[in-house]
Structure 1
Amino acid sequence: MAKRLKGLSMIEPFSQQTAQQRRLSEDWGFSSKSQGKRLLNKNGSFNIKRIGSSEWNALSLYQHLLAAPWWLFYLLVVVVFVGVNCFFALLYLAIGIESINGTNTGVWTTHFYQSFFFSVQTITTVGYGGMAPQSVAAGVVSSFEALTGVLGFALATGLLYGRFSRPSAKILFSQNAIIAPFEDGWSFQFRLANERSNQLVNLEANVIMSTLETVDNISKRRYYQIELTASRIFFFPLNWTIVHPITPESPLHGKTAADLEKLDAEFLVLIKGYDDSFAQEVYNPTSYKWNEIVWNARFVTPFYPSAAGDTIMDLGAINRYETVGRQA
Structure 2
Amino acid sequence: MANEIKDPGIGTKIDEKVRRMINADGSYNVIKKGSTKGIRDIFKYLVEISWTWFFTILFVGYIIFNMIFTIIYLYFGSENILGISPDNGPIFFQIFFFSIQTFTTVGYGTLAPVGITSQIVAAIEAFVGFMSFSLATGLLYGRFSRPRSKLKFADNFVFSKYEDGYSFKFKLTNLRDVVLQDVEAKIITMFNKENKEGNMVRTYYELPITLPKIDIMALTWTLVHKIDKESPFWGKNKEEIMKQHPEFLIFVNGFDEIYSERTRARKSYVVDDIIWNKNFATNFKSLENGKLLMDVRDLNNVIDE
Shared topology, TM-score over 0.5? yes
CA RMSD after TM alignment: 1.9
1:140 aligns with 2:120: yes
* Contact residue 192 and residue 245 of structure 2 kept, 8 A: yes
1:230 aligns with 2:211: yes
1:105 aligns with 2:72: no
With the length of structure 2 as denominator, give the TM-score of the two structures.
Answer: 0.94
Q: Shift of residue 252 of structure 1?
A: 1.7
In 1, Cα distance between equivalents of 2:199 and 2:226: 31
Segments of 5+ residues of structure 1 without an aligned counterpart are 1-9, 12-20
Letter matched to residue 158 of structure 2: I
* Contact residue 156 and residue 275 of structure 2 kept, 8 A: yes
Letter matched to residue 102 of structure 1: G
1:39 aligns with 2:21: yes
Q: Shift of residue 34 of structure 1?
A: 5.3
Q: Shift of residue 68 of structure 1?
A: 1.2
Aligned partner of 2:100 in structure 1 is 120
Q: Shift of residue 117 of structure 1?
A: 0.7
Aligned partner of 1:307 in structure 2 is 288
* Contact residue 257 and residue 290 of structure 1 kept, 8 A: no
In 2, Cα distance between equivalents of 1:267 and 1:279: 29
**Identity %, equivalent residues:** 35
Segments of 5+ residues of structure 2 without an aligned counterpart are none
Change (3 A) 1:59 1:37: farther
Match of 2:110 among 88, 110, 130: 130
In 1, Cα distance between equivalents of 2:13 and 2:40: 27
Change (3 A) 1:274 1:182: same
The 5-angstrom pairing of residues 1-328 of structure 1 reads: 10=1, 24=5, 26-33=6-13, 35=15, 36-53=18-35, 55-56=36-37, 60-105=41-86, 110-215=90-195, 216-324=197-305
In 2, Cα distance between equivalents of 1:308 and 1:34: 56
In 1, Cα distance between equivalents of 2:168 and 2:127: 60
Change (3 A) 1:261 1:111: farther
Q: Shift of residue 106 of structure 1?
A: 7.6
In 1, Cα distance between equivalents of 2:242 and 2:59: 47
* Contact residue 14 and residue 200 of structure 2 kept, 8 A: no
Letter matched to residue 212 of structure 1: N
* Contact residue 7 and residue 203 of structure 2 kept, 8 A: no
In 1, Cα distance between equivalents of 2:7 and 2:145: 33
Q: Shift of residue 318 of structure 1?
A: 0.9
In 2, Cα distance between equivalents of 1:255 and 1:118: 74
Q: Shift of residue 200 of structure 1?
A: 0.7
In 2, Cα distance between equivalents of 1:286 and 1:161: 28
With the length of structure 1 as denominator, give the TM-score of the two structures.
Answer: 0.88
Report the number of matched residues: 302
Partner-residue secondary structure (3-state), 2:9: coil
In 2, Cα distance between equivalents of 1:259 and 1:111: 76
